[in-house]
Amino acid sequence: MSNNTAIKNVILVGAAGNVGAGLVAPLASVYNITILTRESSTSTFPEGIKVIRAAYTVDGLTEAFRGQDAVVSAVGGGGLVQQTVLIDAAVQAGVKRFLPSELSMSSTTAAFRELVPVFQWKWEVLEYLKAKEKEGLSWTGIATGPFIDWGLNAGFLGFDIPNQKAKIWDGGKGVFSAITVADMGKAVVGALKNPEATKNKYIFAYSVTTSQTEILAELEKATAQKWQVESVTSADDIEEGRKLVAAGDFVGMYKLVQAATFGGLPGLGQNFERDEKDGVANDVLGIKPTSIEDIVAEVIGSTERRE
Q: State pLDDT tens for residues 223-274.
A: 999 999 999 999 999 999 999 999 999 999 999 999 999 998 999 999 999 9
User: Taking all residues of the chain, what is their mean pLDDT, rounded to a whole number?
Assistant: 95
Please check whether residue 54 is in contact with residue 30, taking contact to mean a CB–CB distance below 8 angstroms: no
DSSP character string of 137-191: -EEEEEE---BHHHHHHHTTTSEETTTTEEEEEGGG--EEEEB-HHHHHHHHHHH
- Each residue of 156-174: pLDDT tens digit? 999 999 999 999 999 999 9
For residue 305, the model assigns a pLDDT of 61
Where is average pLDDT lowest: 3-7, 48-52, 73-77, 129-133? 3-7
Of 10 and 43, the structure prediction assigns the larger pLDDT to 10
The Cβ of residue 234 has, within 10 Å, a number of other Cβ atoms equal to: 23
- Each residue of 140-155: pLDDT tens digit? 999 999 999 999 999 9
Q: Domain ranges in the chain?
A: 9-145+180-204, 148-178+208-267+287-305
Q: How does residue 3 score in pLDDT terms, banded at 50, 70 and 90?
A: very low
- Each residue of 18-31: pLDDT tens digit? 999 999 999 999 99
Integer Cα distance of 72 and 188 in angstroms: 8
For residue 2, the model assigns a pLDDT of 43
Q: How does residue 103 score in pLDDT terms, banded at 50, 70 and 90?
A: very high
Q: How does residue 307 score in pLDDT terms, banded at 50, 70 and 90?
A: low
For residue 49, the model assigns a pLDDT of 96
For residue 44, the model assigns a pLDDT of 87
Strands (E), the chain: 9-13, 32-38, 50-54, 70-73, 97-99, 138-143, 159-160, 165-169, 175-178, 201-204, 208-211, 228-232
Q: Which CATH architecture has domain 148-178+208-267+287-305?
A: Alpha-Beta Complex (3.90)
**pTM of the complete model beyond 0.85:** yes
Share of residues in the chain with pLDDT > 90 (%): 92
For residue 277, the model assigns a pLDDT of 87
Q: Which residues pair with 10 in a beta bridge?
A: 33, 70
- Each residue of 28-83: pLDDT tens digit? 999 999 999 998 888 889 999 999 999 999 999 999 999 999 999 999 988 899 99
* Average pLDDT over every residue of 291-297: 98
Q: Which CATH architecture has domain 9-145+180-204?
A: 3-Layer(aba) Sandwich (3.40)
Nearest by Cα to 290 from 169, 222, 219, 205: 205
How far CA 172 is from CA of 46, 234, 279, 293, 306, in Å, comes to 39, 11, 26, 17, 29
